Amino acid sequence: MAEDDLLKHRRDKLAALETAGIDAYPARVSVDGTVQSVRARFDETEADELEEIAPGVRLAGRVTALREHGKSAFSDLDDGTGHIQCHLRQKLLGDDSFGAWIELDLGDFVGVEGTLFRTRTGELTVRVDRWEFVAKALRPMPEKWHGLKDTEVRYRQRYLDLLANPDVRDIFRRRAEIIRALRAHLDANDFLEVETPTLQPLYGGAAARPFRTHHNTLDMDLYLRIAPELYLKRLLVGGLQRVYDLNRNFRNEGISRQHNPEFTMLEFYAAYWDYGRMMDFAEELLCLAFGHPDGSSPLTYQGEELSLARPWARVTLRDALIERGNMDAALVDDENALRAWLDERDVATGGLGLGGLREAALDKVVKPLLTSPVFVVDYPLEISPLSKVKPGESDVVERFELYMGGMEIANGYSELNDPREQGRRMREQVANRGEHDDEVPPEVDEDYIVALEHGMPPAAGIGIGLDRLVMLATDSSTIRDVILFPLLRQRD
């Protein structure tokens, strides 16, 4: 039947309901449990025992199947916590009520009241004594057996994806569990959850192109934050020793399997920690998030086994290229040779020094090889403007990036708290900023420098990409599968 006809049939049925004086969208329905709670109590109860107790239930949900049998019918009711079969009998309900049930469309919401029993085949079933109309569905549900596969529809109309594909519901439940586990462990370790501005007059804390917006009353240009870092560190100055911010960041860059323009980041800071202690804590926190607190069970990600066994590997950026990437030490140590090697591989090298070239090699060439967790440590100063220099070194900072499943998962460092050096680095960045180089803010965040001048304790901080974490935990190959409404191009 053509779509217009399908919709017309449903609209006609809605009109018929209303003609019969039935409210198709009543304000309330009386329910005394969920399918899940009913199943928890009676899934194991035998047929004869059920007969004896005759448990009364009132449930509401969508009708997802209707099997007519002349003077009776079976239907499946799905309330979002699970589905349960209902048995309707003409003799019990009367002709009008039974006839109205037969006229239901799949997807309509109903409330049922009745008694639990087991059918001949042992299925837990509600023998419906009374039912009421709860809400009309004017459009057809996706097909019940194959589900909904069209990726475009799945993302654009996520509600259909959630209705049709139970695995998808599980992913988003898992996402919520992970967030709960992260918060619980941070809270237990005296981290204070805070909210810092999304609308910022200047952006910072990462190298990324921002989204711009404007506040009308103040007639003020603003940026959506690319990271909360500089505000969280202001809080360290203010005496909040451990803070975290779990929220959305926005980067006006490409979209890929690992990038969505808005994404969720957990960022936290601890006074008096250094980057080594932060790595220890991150290991512990992530193992909890994965549900393997001792790290003993591996994760399977995209067909590869990924060991969580602690301690997680820590290798310097230089060694990561040599040991993990099988690159020659001579190549890794020779700026010109490395630049040529990257040019051959079409990796952009403009303006980069040896440190930047090494980072580019890691990002573009070696990263896919990093499956089991590895902290790449001791980053070049030239690409780390907010990190503290490693004692005894001139161009290496106390910074790490965590790689898992071929993805960058986290980035952390011992925080630079010397206002003079921070000011120098920021001024240098702005001075070297190209005309259209949006990755660097147009001016120095002097307000942040003033904050540091008031004194910031030594501290370590980290940012963890929550979406990628959920990808690992749910074995999802694309970030769109762990974000409910990923950004897609507008149609038409």
Partner RNA sequence: GGGCCGUUAGCUCAGUUGGCAGAGCACCGGCCUUUUAAGCCGGGUGUCCAGGGUUCGAUCCCCUGACGGCCCA
Residues that bind RNA (CB under 7 A): 1-6, 9, 65-72, 74, 76, 85, 87, 89-91, 105-106, 117, 119-123, 125, 140, 142-153, 155, 254, 256-257, 345-348, 364, 477-478, 480, 488-492
Whether the CB-CB separation of 225 and 249 falls below 8 Å is answered with yes
Select from 381, 386, 380, 362 the least CA-distant residue to 267.
386
Q: Closer to RNA at the Cβ: 115 or 247?
A: 115
Q: Closer to RNA at the Cβ: 37 or 72?
A: 72
Whether the CB-CB separation of 341 and 332 falls below 8 Å is answered with no
CB of 5 to RNA, least distance (A): 6
CB of 232 to RNA, least distance (A): 30
CB of 66 to RNA, least distance (A): 7
Q: Closer to RNA at the Cβ: 64 or 247?
A: 64
Place of tokens 């994965």: 290
Cβ burial 311-330 (10 Å sphere, 16+ → b, else e): ebbbbbbbbbbbebbebeee
Select from 477, 489, 471, 492 the least CA-distant residue to 156.
489
Q: Closer to RNA at the Cβ: 28 or 491?
A: 491
Q: Closer to RNA at the Cβ: 76 or 274?
A: 76
Whether the CB-CB separation of 312 and 297 falls below 8 Å is answered with no
Whether the CB-CB separation of 204 and 229 falls below 8 Å is answered with yes
CB of 46 to RNA, least distance (A): 15
CB of 173 to RNA, least distance (A): 22
For 209, half-sphere exposure in the C-beta direction (CA atoms, 13 angstrom radius) is 7
Q: Closer to RNA at the Cβ: 89 or 158?
A: 89
CB of 415 to RNA, least distance (A): 31
- Other residues' Cβ atoms within 10 Å of the Cβ of residue 397: 25
Q: Closer to RNA at the Cβ: 45 or 72?
A: 72
Distance between CA atoms of 430 and 231, rounded to whole angstroms?
19
Distance between CA atoms of 98 and 189, rounded to whole angstroms?
59
Tell me the residue length of the chain. Answer: 492
Q: How many helices (H) and strands (E) does the chain have?
A: 17, 18
CB of 424 to RNA, least distance (A): 32
